[in-house]
Amino acid sequence: MSKSRSTHHPKGGPATRPATGSTKGRPTTARKRPFTQRQRRQRRRTIYSIVVALVLVATITIAFVGRSSSAGYRTTATNWSLPTLGGGAKVDLASLKGRPTVVNFFASWCQVCASELPVFAHDAVALRGKVNVVEVNALETGDGQSFANQYHLFSDVTAVLRDVGGAQGDGLFQSLGGSSSLPMTAFYGADGSLITTHIGGYDAATLAAQLKTLYGVSVPL
């Protein structure tokens, strides 16, 4: 009589493979139910509410930053006070009284500015002690400080400032009648009164002629 073979496995041995068709030991996967029309509408409303909230937060943040950047400064045409470009001290028109002051606006994207800045830097050195030449970075979308460095403004002119306020860092520029065109130049008397403004660029001859007419000073060309 033959002996039957035992199917018992010692503890820790291989598990017995379940018979075909058996579900024992198989993970079950729950079938996802599709969103109902009502659930889809609720989901869209939730996403819309989140987007609106994010836009509102961004708008408030931008407005706050804009106000903060002009806090403590003034941008009125005849009583302005602006920060120096790159930080540090601030300069106001009252501190420049006693000499005529020329205020020239520039931005790194302005090609005409690039042409006339060497002229203003040259005249600032030639008229040092007689006429103040102030450069103001306005409507800037790039690196105004590096642009000013290219033309040695920090060493040659009386001051290099940054416009503040307005919609695009152009508070003083707007107060003097500027819109979206650069460059623009404002000419002040020794008493701080505004004499005239000029929109557009200057070459060496036309700027020298303007300074001679307004201030009676001569610039070597």
* Distance in angstroms (rounded) separating the CA atoms of residues 34 and 110: 57
Per the model's pLDDT, the better-predicted residue between 28 and 51 turns out to be 51
Within a domain: residue 20? no
Do 56 and 129 share a domain, yes or no?
A: no
Within a domain: residue 133? yes
Within 10 Å of residue 19's Cβ, how many Cβ atoms? 7
Query: By C-alpha distance, which of 72, 94, 83, 69 is closest to 161?
Result: 83
Do 51 and 159 share a domain, yes or no?
A: no
**Cβ-contact 77, 66 below 8 angstroms:** no
How do residues 29-39 score in pLDDT, each as one tens digit?
Answer: 556 666 687 77
Do 64 and 173 share a domain, yes or no?
A: no
Write down the pLDDT at residue 200.
97
Within a domain: residue 8? no
3-state secondary structure of 86: coil
Q: Is the pLDDT of residue 143 over 70?
A: yes
Domain limits for position 47: 37-69
Number of domains forming the structure of the chain: 2
Do 56 and 78 share a domain, yes or no?
A: no
How do residues 66-123 score in pLDDT, each as one tens digit?
Answer: 433 567 899 999 999 999 998 879 999 999 999 999 999 999 999 999 999 999 999 9
Choice among 22-26, 107-111, 183-187 with the minimum mean pLDDT: 22-26
Phi, psi of 112 (to 5 degrees): -65, -35
Write down the pLDDT at residue 53.
63
Give the 3-state secondary structure percentages of the chain, helix then strand then coil, rounded to 5.
Answer: 35, 20, 45
3-state secondary structure of 175: helix
Write down the pLDDT at residue 51.
67
Q: Which CATH number do you get for residue 140?
A: 3.40.30.10
130-139 average pLDDT score: 98
Within a domain: residue 25? no
Do 64 and 138 share a domain, yes or no?
A: no
Is pTM, for the whole model, over 0.85?
A: no
| Residue 161: burial class (beta carbons within 10 Å; 0-12, 13-18, 19+) | buried
7-19 average pLDDT score: 41
Q: Which residue has the tokens 């599709």?
A: 34
**Cβ-contact 142, 135 below 8 angstroms:** no
